[in-house]
């Protein structure tokens, strides 16, 4: 592993072609999202500035011709958190140009069982995202480029079994 002194936020500024994320959890315990999750579940309107910082990060990258995309492995019924993340987060993030895909394992085996959450930058720089049992983020592990091919295979497997978010959401979402 590369030193944890590397800064994940810096990767979003310095990647050159693409940033891919695999998400595997049903619940991400993000304390800063608690009020928005409560508002979503109460049926309140999404705040105008919801996720504005991330959307601007994405927009800056996509305007420069870079691709940001992710696959989320899910099974139905969705948790309250996933309904919130997909219904508010993904829909909002798409306005900045981020692409989303869903790998629904409700009625089929998970082809990536045991693979952790990760970001993969430019097919050369994998970053494993570590979470505890409650979904709280513990920090990233910056892996050596020698491990990149393994994560490219995980990405390709995820994409081969996933469908575009908009199509999946029209069938199963809000």
CATH classification of the domain holding 141: 3.30.870.10
Let me know if residue 2 belongs to a domain.
no
Specify the pairing of strand 125-131 against strand 118-121.
antiparallel
Let me know if residue 164 belongs to a domain.
yes
Residue 64: which domain range? Answer: 8-172
- DSSP state at residue 106: S
Strand, helix or coil for residue 24: coil
The Cα–Cα gap between 103 and 154 comes to 12
Q: What was the pLDDT predicted at 174?
A: 62
pLDDT tens readout for residues 4-34: 435 898 999 999 999 999 999 999 988 888 9
Q: What was the pLDDT predicted at 22?
A: 98
- Could you give the number of structural domains in the chain? 1
Query: Which residues have a Cβ under 8 Å from the Cβ of 61 and sit 6 or more positions away?
Result: 12, 15, 19, 68, 97
Low-confidence ranges of the chain (pLDDT < 70): 1-6, 174
Let me know if residue 34 belongs to a domain.
yes
The Cα–Cα gap between 111 and 133 comes to 21
Let me know if residue 1 belongs to a domain.
no
The Cα–Cα gap between 168 and 153 comes to 23
């Amino acid at each position: 592993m590369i030193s944890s002194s590397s800064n994940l936020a810096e990767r979003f500024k310095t990647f050159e072609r693409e940033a891919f994320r695999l998400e595997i959890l049903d619940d991400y315990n993000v304390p800063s999202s608690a009020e928005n999750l409560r508002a979503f579940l109460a049926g309140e309107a999404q705040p105008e500035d919801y996720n504005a910082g991330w959307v601007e990060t994405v927009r800056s990258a996509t305007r420069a011709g870079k691709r940001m995309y992710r696959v989320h492995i899910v099974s139905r019924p969705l948790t309250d958190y996933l309904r919130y993340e997909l219904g508010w987060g993904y829909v909002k993030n798409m306005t900045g140009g981020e692409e989303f895909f869903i790998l629904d394992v409700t009625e089929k085996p998970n082809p990536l069982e045991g693979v952790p959450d990760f970001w993969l930058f430019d097919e050369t720089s994998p970053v494993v995202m570590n979470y505890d049992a409650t979904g709280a983020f513990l920090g990233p592990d910056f892996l050596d480029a020698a491990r990149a091919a393994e994560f490219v295979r995980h990405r390709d497997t995820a994409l081969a079994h996933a469908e575009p978010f908009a199509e999946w959401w029209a069938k199963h979402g809000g």
